[in-house]
């Protein structure tokens, strides 16, 4: 219900279909959080791996952000 409300809100603000991508991203975030909360023994390890993967993606996406075209 929360994801639906946020997706509709994003769609109203962005006025495009890219709000659906944000909705899918929210679904993924909620699923990862649910899984991390469910596995108490390995929560720290799994959370650290998720943060490392996200940081790697952000670093890769911003490699050419300071170069002039």
For the stretch 5-36, pLDDT in tens is 988 888 888 888 888 888 899 999 899 888 88
* 69 is a domain residue: no
User: Structure pTM?
Assistant: 0.62
Q: How far apart are CA 40 and CA 37, in angstroms?
A: 6
Kindly state whether residue 55 falls inside one of the protein's structural domains: yes
Q: Is 27 inside a domain boundary?
A: yes
Residue 23 domain boundaries: 2-61
> What is the number of domains present in the chain?
1
* The pLDDT of residue 68: 63
Q: Is the pLDDT of residue 62 over 70?
A: yes
- Distance (Å) of CA 39 to CA 34, 36, 47, 51: 9, 6, 11, 16
Domain assignment of residue 7, yes or no: yes
């Amino acid at each position: 219900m929360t994801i639906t409300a946020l997706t509709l809100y994003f769609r109203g603000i962005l006025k495009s279909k890219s709000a659906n991508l944000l909705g899918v991203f929210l679904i993924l975030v909620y699923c990862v959080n649910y899984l991390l909360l469910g596995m108490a023994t390995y929560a720290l390890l799994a959370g650290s791996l998720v943060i490392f993967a996200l940081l790697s993606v952000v670093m890769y996406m911003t490699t050419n952000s300071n170069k002039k075209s």
